[in-house]
Structure 1
Amino acid sequence: MQFTSTRGRIPPTSIDVALVAGLAPDGGLYVPTCFPRPDFSVPAPSLAAMATRTLAPYFADSALRERLDAICVDAFCFDAPLRPLDGAADHVLELFHGPTAAFKDYAARFLARALEALRDPAAPPTTIVVATSGDTGAAVAAAFHRRPGFRVLILYPEGKVSPRQAHGLECWGDNVVAYRVDGSFDDCQRLAKQALSDEALRAQVPLGSANSISLGRLLPQAAYYAHTATDYHARHGQPLNFIVPTGNLGNASAAFVARAMGAAVGEIRLACNANDTLPRYFAGDDYAAQPTRTTLANAMDVGAPSNFERLRHWHADDAALRAAFVADSVDDATIRDTIRAAPDRHGIVPCPHTATALSVLQTLREGGDTRPWAVVATAHPAKFESIVEPLVGHAVEPPPALVECLARPATATRLANDYRALVAALGT
């Protein structure tokens, strides 16, 4: 299978080239030239097995073809359980059981193992440049930590992530360096993209990406949607609809990929915070990036979602794209109310991002929607204890992996919101 750029100014290439490059040379995002249709008619025995089934067509011509199953077993070694909520048709898909308690652990681990397998041992080290609004950086750091031939440079907006998220970005050391950028996530993302598209810089410093702009992040995330939807359809005979907390649109794009490949994914609803670039667009406004607003659901504080470019590429025009999704905006006051009510209403304690999706679910139910819905829980609530605990009135016990992370010392360096400062940090 071949892969091309959303901007159409490069010839098709292999998945191995696309994984190593991260960003296409013309500044676009890599996409497959078509969507394969594997057999999703029967469930797989495990999430890892479904990951192999989902990804195998994309890797048919890859140097990783014979190693794909082993990579998936290693990367998808923790479950993504679909749990019923207090409501016959209400569910939560828990994606926070990995080493950094966030959904990004699955694909980050896959990408790290894939890039390691593709790497020439004689080549100079590759620097993975990652912009993060809270959770991506920690997942990438954990996946690449102490992995020979790689270093990780994390860019995160100073003061705009939770204290525990910041600790998770800063506690690795060794080949991982965290930088606190004086700006927003969109600023961090702009700096990372500028570096990745700077051919002169890349001639001096081998660079790679682990943000959701990377094909190696997007495609593996389709696996847990295919796994969940296939299992649900086998048990109930109908598609499962998903409400996805949405910032940079990578997770929701993965749900779209699973559906385009034939998995029994129903409607995909986008739950956004007060950063309403997407709700404005899907309501009919022209697409226009907005200045980033700081919210309680900080990992979704994105005013210019990168993966919008992929969604637009996959649809004939704006009308077709708007017909495929609905996006809702949830403000901080509603997030607080939803967290406060969730233990009694749903039987769970959600993180602020999951709460945006729960709020959308409540609106759907109040409007008479009776279809089965799964709220996608993207992070463990203990990562946001300063927000969640006062609202639910008790401590939220962190998972063991988060406890281990918090026990390590943490350090980061300030970085000016300036491309020259990033170039200097890269050691040129």
Structure 2
Amino acid sequence: MSDVEPLRYHSTHSAGPTVPISRAIAAGLAPDGGLYVPEALPSIDPAVFDPHGSLADTATTLLAPFFAGDPLADELATICAEAFTFDAPLRTLPAHPNTLMLELFHGPTSAFKDFGARFLAACLRRLPRHDARPLTILVATSGDTGAAVAAAFHHQPNVRVVILYPDGLVSPRQAHQLGCFGDNISALRVAGRFDDCQRMVKTVLNDATLQTQLPLSSANSISLGRLLPQMSYYAHAALSWWREHGTPLNFIVPTGNLGNALACLWVRELGLPIGSVRLACNANATLRDYFSGAVYTPREAVATLANAMDVGAPSNFERLRWTFPDENRLRHLLHADSVADATIRQTIATHAHEHGEVLCPHTATAMHRLDRLRDEGDSSPWAVIATAHPAKFESVVEPLIGRSLPVPPALATMLARPACAEPLSANDTALRTWLSSH
């Protein structure tokens, strides 16, 4: 173990007690219901990164200060090598020399959630447990998180995963992915919205009595084990651009629960060459309204084509406020836009027919925002975050582009399996009862 002074972590609800990162990752949620954050974000010199290193190498260097002094520190390079076995290519698009796309959908479930889920699983495999009972990992998903977590933990001994998703509010292929694993993976289709699923998971994780009966943890982006590794692809892309061009790279991030966007912002706060960051939302306007000057007001989520972003109460907003406690500075640093379903459709169709680029509905929200910037005369370098493979949303995309989409091999394998999910009411008692009876 390293003898470096360890970085400690505390809840967004209070400054203490602090815990090491291993404990924060194992718990998922802080005992008081808050989200774990470091005592302070470290600073990192861009020059310490290997210019010829892989994504796993970048991740190891980037995350080392967060794991300093922890039992996991000596295994961090191996953890990153296990998690990041696929690329996150930064590709220049032909429409404009300064228009790029960071493709995050080349993992086993064709969505960016694969990076964080696999890292979390690799960490938990190495953490000692003094309880012979299986660890139950709860995950609320609006589409992509659940499948990524299921794939990462499938067949892992002494671990079971329970996925909650809003019934009828994910794409058919997403729903099939969620229910196709079996074995140590259970899928629950909740008669409600994603925010109900997220509330149910948080409430159960905060239930001290249930925790004594059943060891529980979380794999949502409320978990540091999911959030921290997502910084890696932003750092890798930004450093690559900076070395070649000598300027920071700007990012447009599709967001719902704010985990992916916060990862990008934290990389910038560490001192790496990231310029402006803009948030692209769907018709769920909680963040747009806040950054337009309104009081932050969580609301009930509405269903959209970009269903993985159907969030009315983004949980990582707590971490965002911790990162930028000065509200005026926060609103100055960030912009958020809402994109309606009709505009998502139009953006998908236009880019497919005019540029040959096929976008998933979530990626289309970010591309629409970049289109507007270009129309306004902005010629600076922007990278659009491509969060999922468009073949996961074939019922939306294929009618708009007029052809069928090839399905990535890993996704095709999942779709070939049988799938099932159990119904569940959208209340906390129903989840407690289900967990106790299983």
TM-score for the superposition, normalised by structure 2: 0.96
- Kindly state the Cα deviation for residue 144 of structure 1 after the two structures are TM-superposed: 0.5
Q: Distance in 1 between matches of 2:355 and 2:272?
A: 27
**In the TM superposition, what are the counterparts of 1:91-106 in structure 2 within 5 Å?**
91-106=100-115
Q: Distance in 2 between matches of 1:352 and 1:308?
A: 23
Match of 2:19 in 1: 13
Give 1:90's match in structure 2, choosing from 99, 123, 136.
Answer: 99
Letter aligned with residue 253 of structure 2: V
Match of 2:352 in 1: 343
Structure 1 residues 21-45: Cα deviation after superposition (integer angstroms, max 9, x where no partner): 1001111100111112233235351
Structure 1 residues 30-67: Cα deviation after superposition (integer angstroms, max 9, x where no partner): 01111122332353510000010111111111111111
The 8 Å contact of residues 44 and 50 in structure 1, kept in 2 or not, is answered as: no
In structure 2, the residue corresponding to 1:427 is in which secondary structure?
helix
- Kindly state the Cα deviation for residue 122 of structure 1 after the two structures are TM-superposed: 5.3
Letter aligned with residue 49 of structure 1: D
Q: Distance in 1 between matches of 2:243 and 2:211?
A: 48
Match of 1:22 in 2: 28
Say whether residues 1:72 and 2:80 are aligned partners: yes
Once superposed, which parts of structure 1, at least 4 consecutive aligned residues long, lie more than 4 Å away? none
The 8 Å contact of residues 299 and 353 in structure 1, kept in 2 or not, is answered as: yes
Say whether residues 1:196 and 2:205 are aligned partners: yes
Give 1:406's match in structure 2, choosing from 402, 408, 415.
Answer: 415
Letter aligned with residue 177 of structure 1: S
Percent of aligned pairs with the same amino acid: 58
Structure 1 residues 247-300: Cα deviation after superposition (integer angstroms, max 9, x where no partner): 000000000111111111111100000000000000000000122110000000
Match of 2:214 in 1: 205
- Kindly state the Cα deviation for residue 121 of structure 1 after the two structures are TM-superposed: 6.7
TM-score for the superposition, normalised by structure 1: 0.98
The 8 Å contact of residues 60 and 80 in structure 2, kept in 1 or not, is answered as: yes
**In the TM superposition, what are the counterparts of 1:12-411 in structure 2 within 5 Å?**
12-41=18-47, 42=49, 43-85=51-93, 86-120=95-129, 123-411=132-420
Unaligned runs of 5+ in 1: none
Q: Distance in 2 between matches of 1:382 and 1:2?
A: 41
Structure 1 residues 184-231: Cα deviation after superposition (integer angstroms, max 9, x where no partner): 000000000001111111111100100000011111000100000001
The 8 Å contact of residues 254 and 363 in structure 2, kept in 1 or not, is answered as: yes
Letter aligned with residue 303 of structure 1: G
- Kindly state the Cα deviation for residue 10 of structure 1 after the two structures are TM-superposed: 3.2
Q: Distance in 2 between matches of 1:393 and 1:199?
A: 53
- Kindly state the Cα deviation for residue 9 of structure 1 after the two structures are TM-superposed: 5.5
In structure 2, the residue corresponding to 1:376 is in which secondary structure?
strand
The 8 Å contact of residues 40 and 226 in structure 1, kept in 2 or not, is answered as: no
In structure 1, the residue corresponding to 2:46 is in which secondary structure?
coil
Q: 1:122 to 1:28 in 2, by over 3 A?
A: closer
- Kindly state the Cα deviation for residue 343 of structure 1 after the two structures are TM-superposed: 2.0
Q: Distance in 2 between matches of 1:131 and 1:370?
A: 39
Unaligned runs of 5+ in 2: 1-6
In structure 1, the residue corresponding to 2:336 is in which secondary structure?
strand
Q: Distance in 1 between matches of 2:348 and 2:272?
A: 31
The 8 Å contact of residues 10 and 26 in structure 1, kept in 2 or not, is answered as: no
- Kindly state the Cα deviation for residue 349 of structure 1 after the two structures are TM-superposed: 0.1
The 8 Å contact of residues 139 and 162 in structure 2, kept in 1 or not, is answered as: yes
- Kindly state the Cα deviation for residue 348 of structure 1 after the two structures are TM-superposed: 1.1
The 8 Å contact of residues 353 and 401 in structure 2, kept in 1 or not, is answered as: no
Letter aligned with residue 297 of structure 1: A
Q: Distance in 1 between matches of 2:343 and 2:354?
A: 15
Match of 1:415 in 2: 424
Q: Distance in 1 between matches of 2:15 and 2:204?
A: 19
Number of equivalent positions: 428
